[in-house]
Structure 1
Amino acid sequence: MKYQISIEGGTAFTVAAEEDTLLRGALRAGMALPHECSVGGCGACRFDLVDGLMESVWPEAPGLSERDRKRGKYLACQSRPLGDCTIRVRCDESYRPAVRAHRSAAELLARRALTPDMSEFTFRVPGATEFRPGQYALLYLPRTPGARAYSMANLPNEEGIWKFVIRRVPGGSGSNALFDQVGIGESIVFDGPYGHAYLREDSPRDIVCIAGGSGLAPMLSVARGALADGGSRRVHFFYGARGQADLGALDALEKLAEDERLALSVVLSAPESTWKGPTGFVHEEVERNLTAPLGSYDFYFAGPPPMIEAIQALLMHKHQVPFGQIRFDRFV
Structure 2
Amino acid sequence: MNETLVNNQNHRITLADTGQSFECGNDDVLLRSALRNNVAFPYECNVGACGNCKFELIEGEVDAKWPEAPGWTAKDRERRRYLGCQSVPRGDCTIKLRPNPHYAPIHQPKRVTGTFMSRRPVTHDIAEFRFELSDDMWFEPGQYALLTLPGVSGQRAYSMSNIVQGSHAKVLDFQVRRVPDGQGSNALFGTLAAGQQIEIDGPYGMAYLRRNVKRDILCLAGGSGLAPMISIARGVAADPGMQGVKLNFLYGGRTPRDVCGRDMLEVLENFGKHLHFDAAVSHAGDGEQWGGHTGFVHELAESMFGDRLRDMEIYFAGPPAMGQAIQKMLLARNVSFGQVHFDQFY
The CA distance in 2 between the partners of 1:215 and 1:302, in whole Å, is 4
For the pair 1:245 / 2:250, whether they are aligned, the reply is no
* TM-score with structure 2 setting the length: 0.91
Which residue matches 1:297? 312
Match of 2:278 in 1: 265
Any idea what the Cα deviations from partners look like across 1:215-251, whole Å, max 9, x if unmatched?
Answer: 0000001111112113201001110111122135542
Q: Deviations over 1:111-160 (max 9, x none)?
A: 01112211000110024441000000010000111110000000113261
CA separation in 1, counterparts of 2:102 and 2:284? 40
Aligned-partner residue type, residue 332 of structure 2 = K
Which aligned pairs between 1:210-249 and structure 2 lie closer than 5 A?
Answer: 210-230=220-240, 231-249=243-261
Which residue pairs with 1:195 in the alignment? 205
What CA distance in whole angstroms lies between the structure 2 residues aligned with 1:128 and 1:260? 34
Deviations 1:158-201 (A, max 9, x none): 26111010011111111111111111111111111111110010
- Cα distance in 2 for residues equivalent to 1:210 and 1:296: 16
Residue equivalent to 2:215:
205
Shift of 1:255: 3.0
Aligned-residue CA RMSD in angstroms? 1.6
How is 1:5-44 mapped onto 2 (pairs within 5 angstroms)? 5-44=13-52
One-letter amino acid of the structure 1 residue matched with residue 246 of structure 2: R
Q: Secondary structure at the match of 1:36?
A: coil
Paired with 1:271 and 1:253, the residues of 2 have a C-alpha distance of 23
Q: Secondary structure at the match of 1:289?
A: helix
Equivalent of residue 61 in structure 2, options 40, 47, 53: 53
After alignment, is 43-52 or 215-224 more displaced?
43-52
Cα pair distance change 1:233/1:184, threshold 3 Å: same
Aligned length: 331
CA contact (8 A) 1:13 1:29 kept: no
Which 4+ residue blocks in structure 1 deviate beyond 4 angstroms? none
Task: Kindly provide the amino acid, as one letter, of the partner of residue 280 in structure 2.
Answer: V
Aligned residue runs from structure 1 range 107-186, under 5 A:
107-157=115-165, 158=168, 160-186=170-196
1:323 is displaced (CA, Å) by: 2.1
Pairing partner for 1:85 from 88, 93, 114: 93
* 1:118/1:11 CA distance change after superposition, 3 Å: farther
CA distance in 2, matches of 1:294, 1:287: 8
> Taking structure 1 as reference, are residues 206 and 144 closer, same or farther at Cα in structure 2, changes over 3 Å only?
same
Residue pair 1:266, 1:277 contacting (<8 A) in 2 also:
yes
Counterpart amino acid of 1:239?
Y
Partner of 2:332: 318
Please tell me whether the aligned partners of residues 117 and 194 of structure 2 are also in contact (alpha carbons under 8 angstroms). Answer: yes
Q: TM-score, normalised by structure 1?
A: 0.95
Q: Percent identity?
A: 45
Mapped to 2, the partners of 1:104 and 1:115 lie a distance apart of: 29
Unaligned stretches of 5+ residues in structure 2: 1-8
Instruction: Give the drift of 1:97.
Output: 0.6
Structure 1 residues without counterparts, runs of 5 or longer? none
After superposition, what is the alpha-carbon deviation per residue over 1:270-295, rounded to whole angstroms, capped at 9, x for unaligned? 12352111111111111001155221
Matched, 1:288 2:303: yes
- Indicate if the aligned counterparts of 1:17 and 1:82 stay in contact, CA closer than 8 A: no
